[in-house]
Structure 1
């Protein structure tokens, strides 16, 4: 949102380093502009990587164990992989030509170094551009120390023109004019501007913070108020790197210019790694030292002073730069910090419970959007529960409230949190029974783990606590049915689910949550039971359940359940030969899944459309979509329940492969593999221009054999002569010629000959 100032030499140097090394790390103190510089370089070199440039922001991540999950999620790699997600990530990147920008690595430097080392060894065409306060120490790493911006020497300059030659001055002027449009450097203030820029040592963050003060003070007035601070800064260089001391002094100076209420808000807001919204401020930050009546004014003031920034949307979100957040945290004493962290956890535990109820009441889209915004804070709250003695049960309740999120978007992360919380408190409890059920529901198992093992223990807990007549017992049975599906025993799953469905139909809820949960449970059971009937070869029973469930899902706003049901019904209609209806159902599933970012349903919808395209004779389009879903095919997403689904896909894939041959299938598949998830969805839904652009590129992609045929056509060879020259049948030669004409949008062999003679330039669009 702001202009990029200077750095021409640095940009050129970093581009050269990226050309010579596959790992370049930008180092320097906080606030020196490492992130901004990295993003600018990435923008400039993007074409070299065909636009395949990925930014992974690590500032909010605190747990090194989640590093690979975070990178995989940013690359649209589904988080349902069995085994090590890092292995899936390496497999995904093995043949990729991409640039990864890993931002803010300093607090995870060991974990980042290990992962980057594995990536650069396993993926020879992947380049990494990292930003960190220290180098990664990986073999082959090229380091680049980001310097401060050049600033004038106040004792050497003699005119405004000289001051204006420096990038540090240009940045100060640019940012100052954002708050005071008439600011300029002239013969009256150039010396003060030079002194100010030099005092800030050219640190971009420091300059931007100081520029805000130019709204109410002149450059001369600011310099007059530096006083002892300037001398203290000079002395500070003896105790550490000069630029570190400079940034610290700048932040301290900005802090000193805040009122006591603003300083309090700064320190407390620093507790929120993912930013905060007004309800969080009122619940956690408000206290005797910061009354609620003053909150809005103080927030506005901190935004004005660039301590906080805002993100738009229906609800304003306040975010803080990481260096400023670190400074704010140091202003809290241990006792105050502990109290606030507990209040932080309590707020997010209550928020999860509220969002869970909203999800059940039909506001799932809104609830999921808030969860996505709060991921950093939810992780911090769960970390508190997992590490603070006596808090694991509260963490289990939080994790249970997030089950819909884990299932749709982050199964591996959810499984990891549940494993940690279960290990932290092995005491039998209602919360432990629920956590064990949820853990079995997530299809992510490490060696030595089994869904049945979790459920056996859950039954022991239920028996010990005498909960066997309540909801806990029936949820164990529901999870056991899911485990049967994962294990390829759909008949057993159907038998269990029929009993569970009967129980829910006769259950009389006693609490608000139970009353909200009952219709959702009935809907969920019907849809999962339909999956089981589909897998056991009982399509009539499955379709009846789905026709009953889908209107209910639409009425109550259960979008994710509706998407699953649409996909399953689409599979059944495909198997019945009704491909037009199947395609309509699959596209509706895909649209809904995209709207709520449900990765599992997105994968299911794409796979179904692959099979439909093959069944309808559009083998090239089917191959392209299969390439686009390659990651999902390898990830064993949660909704792949039995060999039935795999058999359907395998049969149609073989049909498409046989229709166009190995070379054409592979060419289309490779093109599809280069699509992002968003592009793949757009192509699958026939949304232009995405489909037009991609299919035009595909249609103009000739295989090696077809290029040989084109060369022979340019030599004036007939189909018979082409067949003899290439030792193929005349019919095969004719097929190649027809494909070339179609791919290039031509109608005559003469046009092919002219195209070859002209160096195979871009043909007119078909």
Structure 2
């Protein structure tokens, strides 16, 4: 029986191109196959299910005395022909009455083989019936299937084949780093097959990285892009990827028609969907990023889709590999589409004439989200709100663009204004200013919300170094308020005016408007505005030398924020009170307070606040420990860059920073100062916090150059390696770093490969060697 099977032509074909990567997937699938008699590889078209199944089958053949048989079902169109296709691949002669699931299972009963059914998605029901019968009658037959959706029968184990890992290029990336990513390795392998002289260089590496990232790590898409290298330089391929489906239209002519182009592969999946699934697919394309069920229920329903059907339809689209459900979505399930699948859906939405209605609903949903953020931010849910807005950032940006493109500036201004604290805490003030400015420029005077938008535009302007614009914006905002303005509106304008004066190094000039703002807010129940003014006024009084008043104002701010379990303003008040305590001769309490503030800022991922705290701690250290002060000053420089703002916007700190650097130049050789600051500048936010707390030597160790110390790991890999050393599993690491477990898996694999280690214990030992107590 074994020989006849292997001679029959259904055996696994030889590979004609290099098999790249997939070490983890191969291991996982082989384990599943050893413990389950039915394993289904699922995933979107072009993700590499077929190629992976063939490699798995080839590696598993020794476990099956009667061989491994491949059944290609892509071209089978009739359910009745499925048993015949399997019988033909097995080399069985025709039965007079034709093959059925029952007769085929009976014939296979005494065999011990692996049956690979490739491309089952268009025949999933007859395939499921056949497999169920075979598993029941042939106890030693194992089945490996590939499909865009599972069989959904008892005993099935599904394995979602992920895209290949791809890099994100940033300022610290190098060409040599890219080849650790399987997506890049595939691109290079196929490009060199087409153009043998193709070389990865520092010049073209960013384009190769971006090509692989924009194609979402889909092997078929990467291969099609690499096929263009013979005709176009990678810079032009990257530039033309605005429409993936039009560019990637040629491929292996020997492949099935649906695998020759990315468009054909996706169209095949579309044809397998029901009409409601196709309609939801098209409407989901309006989301440029991942999305939650509650958003889909608002944005994608009506005109043919009911809210009650959304969960079932989303589930079906996940089953058919159109959507990917994110593994660590937060409190609500999140889904995403790969870029090419989204582009295909958007084209269908455009062709149907339904774009405008879906865009309108996205804008309305984002308006409600922004309102809820403004109303819910000041309290214990602040961190959750910040994380939620970060996840929804691209969706919000699209909604703002849609509102402005569709000439709805009032709605755009309302969204951008309600999110004012998000723009600040996330280090995105320049983006917030962009949307506010567009809304103001495209609206008429007395448009609802225009005064609020103008005041926040003024606020962002002085933080971003454009203080000269502030008086004009404030004057326009006052004019917009009309003859009987509300006390809260006037209070906010006085607050912004005072903060602008403070930013312009006129602390005494800031006193009157901030005192007026405090008086106005006392007439309202606007607790957020009052807390802001107490904080700003406390800093002003400190700079004016009234330390008693400064302490009183800042402690009142702490009482209010503490009562509401608020974090952002609370940590800022802690930091500034620490500065005051330093001046009144309480350095121990001062440093403890600023360290507590830094920890809160780091937890909340608030970059401006982290920068301020690090600069304050550097100032505290320069006299007693100049080496620590220099390292912290370097940490602060990086934090300012991440924030999108500048220390120039905070005159008080800039003055202390200048004095600190003058002192450091006087006591340290210039070379040492530059080296220490550079080492501090390379520390991640987590490592900067650890160093400031004295639990990690990091850049302070003069015996090691930081850039060499952790080479060849990237910053993210170093963060993962540290968690490995703490004994955390991959899912725990994913939770700590707010990334997916799959990403952690890839990082751990890269770490083991780069360091030529065989297990996590070796990684832990290597990390431990490099972490030394701080010299404090």
Q: Give the TM-score band, short-chain normalised.
A: 0.5 to 0.7
1:597 aligns to 2:605 (yes or no): yes
Contact 1:590 1:605 in 2 (8 A): yes
1:241 aligns to 2:250 (yes or no): yes
Q: After superposition, where does 1:257-268 map in structure 2 within 5 Å?
A: 257-268=272-283
Aligned to 1:192: 72
- Shift of residue 667 of structure 1? 2.4
- Shift of residue 642 of structure 1? 5.5
Aligned to 2:506: 489
Distance 1:765 1:494, change over 3 A: closer
Aligned to 1:530: 538
User: CA separation in 1, counterparts of 2:637 and 2:277?
Assistant: 51
* 2:595 counterpart (570, 583, 587): 587
Aligned to 2:634: 627
Aligned to 1:618: 625
Distance 1:536 1:637, change over 3 A: farther
Aligned to 1:203: none
1:355 aligns to 2:359 (yes or no): no
Aligned to 2:39: 181
Contact 1:157 1:163 in 2 (8 A): no
Distance 1:541 1:209, change over 3 A: farther
User: CA separation in 2, counterparts of 1:441 and 1:669?
Assistant: 31
- Shift of residue 677 of structure 1? 2.8
Aligned to 2:423: 406
TM-score by length of 2: 0.60
More displaced 10-residue stretch of structure 1: 576-585 or 177-186: 177-186
User: CA separation in 2, counterparts of 1:448 and 1:584?
Assistant: 33
1:453 aligns to 2:472 (yes or no): yes
Aligned to 2:697: 692
User: CA separation in 1, counterparts of 2:591 and 2:21?
Assistant: 57
1:519 aligns to 2:536 (yes or no): no
User: CA separation in 2, counterparts of 1:285 and 1:338?
Assistant: 12
1:160 aligns to 2:18 (yes or no): no
Distance 1:534 1:393, change over 3 A: same
- Shift of residue 648 of structure 1? 2.5
Aligned to 1:231: none
Contact 1:614 1:622 in 2 (8 A): yes
For residues 577-626 of structure 1, the C-alpha deviation after alignment (integer angstroms, 9 at most, x for no partner) is: 322111101111111101111111110111111112224x1111111111
Aligned to 2:305: 290
For residues 522-581 of structure 1, the C-alpha deviation after alignment (integer angstroms, 9 at most, x for no partner) is: 211111110111222222111111112213212212211011111111111222332211
Q: After superposition, where does 1:208-607 map in structure 2 within 5 Å?
A: 241-242=250-251, 246-311=261-326, 312=328, 313-332=330-349, 333=351, 335-389=353-407, 391-408=408-425, 409-442=427-460, 443=462, 450-463=469-482, 466-507=483-524, 515=525, 518-607=526-615
- Shift of residue 657 of structure 1? 3.6
User: CA separation in 2, counterparts of 1:224 and 1:582?
Assistant: 62
User: CA separation in 2, counterparts of 1:277 and 1:239?
Assistant: 30
SS at match of 1:360: coil
Contact 1:272 1:377 in 2 (8 A): yes
Q: Which runs of 5+ in 2 are unaligned?
A: 1-6, 41-52, 62-66, 77-115, 132-144, 149-244, 253-258, 707-768
User: CA separation in 1, counterparts of 2:633 and 2:613?
Assistant: 12
User: CA separation in 2, counterparts of 1:330 and 1:157?
Assistant: 44
Aligned to 1:136: none
For residues 174-193 of structure 1, the C-alpha deviation after alignment (integer angstroms, 9 at most, x for no partner) is: 59878952774786743628
User: CA separation in 1, counterparts of 2:410 and 2:493?
Assistant: 18
Higher relative contact order (CA 8 A, sep 6+): 1
User: CA separation in 2, counterparts of 1:304 and 1:636?
Assistant: 41
Aligned to 2:677: 669
Contact 1:169 1:194 in 2 (8 A): no
- Shift of residue 384 of structure 1? 1.1
* 2:652 counterpart (644, 660, 670): 644
**CA RMSD between the two structures:** 3.9
User: CA separation in 2, counterparts of 1:657 and 1:415?
Assistant: 37
Contact 2:118 2:146 in 1 (8 A): no
Distance 1:577 1:284, change over 3 A: same
Distance 1:449 1:649, change over 3 A: closer
For residues 400-449 of structure 1, the C-alpha deviation after alignment (integer angstroms, 9 at most, x for no partner) is: 10100112221111111111111111332341111100100113568796
Distance 1:643 1:446, change over 3 A: closer
SS at match of 2:348: coil
- Shift of residue 324 of structure 1? 0.5
User: CA separation in 1, counterparts of 2:248 and 2:635?
Assistant: 55
User: CA separation in 1, counterparts of 2:292 and 2:146?
Assistant: 36
User: CA separation in 2, counterparts of 1:157 and 1:246?
Assistant: 31
SS at match of 2:574: helix
- Shift of residue 164 of structure 1? 5.8
TM-score by length of 1: 0.61
User: CA separation in 2, counterparts of 1:482 and 1:427?
Assistant: 25
Contact 1:364 1:558 in 2 (8 A): yes
Distance 1:400 1:264, change over 3 A: same
The size of the alignment, in residue pairs, is 515
User: CA separation in 2, counterparts of 1:348 and 1:271?
Assistant: 13
Contact 2:74 2:118 in 1 (8 A): no
User: CA separation in 1, counterparts of 2:649 and 2:352?
Assistant: 50
Contact 2:607 2:640 in 1 (8 A): no
User: CA separation in 2, counterparts of 1:212 and 1:675?
Assistant: 49
Distance 1:314 1:469, change over 3 A: closer
Q: Which runs of 5+ in 1 are unaligned?
A: 1-155, 197-206, 226-235, 508-514, 703-761
SS at match of 1:190: strand
SS at match of 2:39: coil
Distance 1:532 1:448, change over 3 A: closer
Distance 1:476 1:208, change over 3 A: farther
More displaced 10-residue stretch of structure 1: 430-439 or 211-220: 211-220
